[in-house]
Chain A
Amino acid sequence: MNFAFAKKARKLSGLAIFSSIVGLTLVSILPWVSETTTDAGGKNLTIYHNIVTIDMSYNEQINVLAGDIRLIIDFFWLIIIFGLLSFVGTIIYVSDKHPRLAQVSLLLGCLTIIFSILVVFVNWSWIQKIGTMETISASPLFGVSNIPIKYAHLPLAMGVISLIGSGLYTWLILSSSIKPFIGSKKQKEPVEKLRVQEPKTRQPIQKLPVGEKQDSYRRIQTRSFEFEKESPIEKPYAEEEYSKPEQKQHLEPRKPIPTKQPFPLKKSLDIEETYGNSSAAEELSSRQDEPPSTSPLFEKALYSAIEKKQMEINKEKTDKKQQPAKKKISVRCPQCKYILSVEKGEGITKIKCPKCGKEGVIK
């Protein structure tokens, strides 16, 4: 789940919705058409018409234009509805619940681009169409005929903004939907190659004496720290990489380090603060991104700790192994002749007869 992706999708969808709402309002408010007529005295009159008065007009040419404006209104509504669906899709996507529903909602939001294109196309063709007519024309902005911008251009501008928003949204959604398929194709090949190489590169596990075992374990641990900076796909192949000769050089035994040097530590450091305070921990964690610099003192301390831990683990294992299995034996009480079953471990086991209460030991 990608929050940045969802946030971007929400913003773009919001842009398309808001511009459509404004466009819808402008379509209903603005005077689209100006009609030039002559009055009884032969004087030229200009009448402005909006969507309401267009319907009332007796001029057939104006009535024809009304159909296109109604189409623009319908398309704006459709952009709003599908945009709102995509809005809901983003929150479902972020919540990680119902991923299918989220995907469908987000994809439905892509339909806004079609309606945005239609809005722009119908609006533009409307302006072109009215330009060819004689008695009627597109109303100039504020009634100033010198200005090339008409009122009809304002909803067109909203349509263009909506188109930009929905276009970017569609690109974002579709590219993210296609990405996994492309990614899977690209990844398939190297994974298969690695699988083929696997039996060749894997070394048989050799039994080593305890001392050598610990030493090799220490080396592997050291290597694994360096793998932390590598991509996660490479981590499982850490062992294979370890077996490469050029990396073996890196794992040569290190020179002895003077132990009397103090551990680099700030005097004011408090353990509780360092580990209890999340901000301090975050600060430390942010340092993980920096390239590691070698500290021989720390390595030495690390080796000793790993050795210590390994020893403890080995000891636990050996203790478990060495624990003798308890034998179940039957013993007859010398006093009451009652036969009782006893679990006998190593050494002396004390027993007590449940019938007469006589105590004794088994050696």
Chain B
Amino acid sequence: MSEDPALNAKREEKIKEQLLDEVFKKAEISRGVRPPNKVISKKKSYEKTFPKVGILIIIIAIIGLVFINTIPWVYARYNDTEAAFYKNFESKKDDQQVRDLFKSPYYLGLSINDFTNAPALATYGFISLIILGIAITIFGILDKIRDFSIETFTIIHFTAATAIIIPGIFIILSSTKILGAHFLLYHNMSLITTPHLKLLFFPAAFAVVVIGFVIIRLAFTIMRMDFNELEKMKETEISEKPFSSYTYGGELQ
């Protein structure tokens, strides 16, 4: 493809002019004739995003509440008979043999009352998470109206994410007693007098602990994302270059 020599010369001239102008400005700055300015910048646009995390936390908390109320807290199998006990140790058919397991809590460390306390504690934990989720969402809406600075927005968002960890730990600890009983059952099985007990499992407690860890992991992820967002935002400011640059003596490519 042939190029117009006049046009090429014009281009060259223009580039030369620009480069020389820049180098001259640089020289002026290095000489101290002109103060270094950051007026010409290649700032990328940075936009705040609506915090969807609040909604996500609310959804997770609702799932947790559903799990607490629908998944059995005790599942036992003995003599080819299955028994499931739900929240507050309620069962469709009242199984006395399973009830007897928790009458003397010395070997398992569990009493029937624990199946009332643990769901209640977990429920409070999930409710506090819903409140936090609502607060984050309201904050997101407020930000749309009042337009907080990115720093303020990120700090509040990050702090809210940090606050999520506390109910997350409470949710886990609400069920650790039941989980601990599962371990004790494994070791003290020979001491338990219930005849032909084949399986004793606490599905809801396991589910609650898993959800608790998921919440904590989510909080850590939110914090990391906030941190990276702020870094990205700050970098766009820092990346301001006074001039499009050229290495003195280098070859233009």
Which residues on A are within 8 Å of B, measured CB to CB?
1, 3, 6-7, 10, 14, 17-18, 21, 24-25, 28-31, 34, 45-53, 56, 80, 84, 87-88, 90-92, 94-97, 139, 143, 220-221, 224-225, 227-228, 235-236, 238, 262-267, 269-271, 274-275, 278, 281, 284-285, 287-288, 290, 292-295, 298-299, 301-302, 305-306, 309
Contact = CB atoms under 8 A, between A and B. Distances in A.
A224 B245 contact: no
B27 A225 contact: yes
B216 A21 contact: yes
Contacts, number: 208
A25 B176 CA distance: 7
A112 B187 CA distance: 35
A88 B23 contact: no
A265 B252 contact: yes
Given A88-B159, A264-B251, A267-B3, A288 B105 contact: no
B107 A302 contact: no
Nearest to B163: A84
Contacts of A236: 32
Given A31-B187, A48-B188, A56-B105, A24 B21 contact: no
Given A97-B155, A225-B23, A84 B105 contact: no
Contact of A84 (B32, B155, B162, B180): B162
B140 to A, nearest CB: 17
A224 B158 contact: no
Given A3-B234, A34-B187, A284-B246, 20 more contacts: A17-B165, A24-B169, A28-B180, A29-B179, A47-B191, A48-B187, A51-B180, A88-B155, A88-B158, A88-B159, A91-B159, A94-B227, A96-B151, A221-B31, A224-B31, A225-B248, A228-B248, A269-B11, A269-B15, A285-B244
Contact of A91 (B105, B154, B172, B252): B154
A52 B109 contact: yes
A143 B247 CA distance: 70
Main secondary structure of the interface of A (DSSP, over half): helix
B198 interface: no
17 contacts: A3-B231, A7-B231, A25-B172, A34-B187, A228-B30, A228-B248, A263-B16, A269-B252, A270-B11, A271-B18, A275-B18, A275-B244, A278-B42, A292-B248, A293-B249, A294-B249, A302-B23
Contact of B30 (A34, A235, A292): A235
Interface string B95-116: 0000000000111111000000
Interface residues of B, number: 72
B48 interface: no
B127 to A, nearest CB: 21
Given A94-B234, A290-B247, A225 B15 contact: no
A262 B9 CA distance: 9
Interface of B: 3, 8, 11-12, 14-18, 20-21, 23-24, 26-27, 30-32, 42, 44, 105-110, 151-152, 154-155, 158-159, 162, 165-166, 169, 172-173, 176-177, 179-181, 183-184, 186-188, 190-191, 209, 216, 220, 223-224, 226-227, 230-231, 234-235, 241, 244-253
